[in-house]
Structure 1
Amino acid sequence: MPDTTAAAPAAVQPVIVTPDLERLQRFYTELLGAEETTRVPEEGSVFFVGLRIGNGELVLVADENVETGSPVRILLNIAVQDVDGLLERVAPLGGKVSGPPNDMPWGQRVAHIQDPDGNAVNLSQPV
């Protein structure tokens, strides 16, 4: 078996392409405490923003021509401290709560939401 450790990726970095970068950044910042780590360009019309959420990173890229909402082919799972406490903040920030949180048999409490672009997001915490 060949040694692939040198070629192994260091991390996976999800990227969301959005027609409204500012709105989506506000959603993740205000809901989850995301911190901006990168902005390109630093001044003027921004097309790339890197966000740190806990020890992970999410990238937002602006494209005014992209369609939002469907088809949904990816799901972001974000570990949080208090699923129930965050749900009341989702709708005022432009997102949508798909239903009440549930305790799953694998030991997580999970709530299904959508961000303002309609991307599927699970908020999860250990039970």
Structure 2
Amino acid sequence: MELAQVRLLVSDFPACYRFYADVLGLKPQSGAAEGPYEKFSPATGSAGIALQDRAMMSQVLGELGEPASGHRSLVVLRVDDLDAHCEAITARGGSLVHGPAPMTDRMRVAHLKDPEGNLVELQEWLLLRG
């Protein structure tokens, strides 16, 4: 298992994009200033910080309250075999809240929550960026 990113669920995507790109100086992966997703890379290391539009994740999971009462972040772990990891997690007492299911044409995902209610995403890349 490899830590892929910490993803922040945001309501004002453009403002957050400007903060991470312009204020912190992190390099955006695609330049998607209006969202719904962008990954920012630090100068060194492979993991980064990503922004995800809260409304998009709400559609995927069928729930996500506003920031005061809802999720603020999403820990993302990249795995080679999503189905095998999901089976192992449920065998160890974990409970999936979504998936395994396609997220995009590039990946499949599954979601679960930690004891505090924080979201964890397991992602299996189907196609790597060229």
* Same fold (TM > 0.5): no
Q: TM-score of the superposition, structure 1-length normalised? A: 0.41
Larger radius of gyration: 1
TM-score in terms of structure 2 length: 0.40
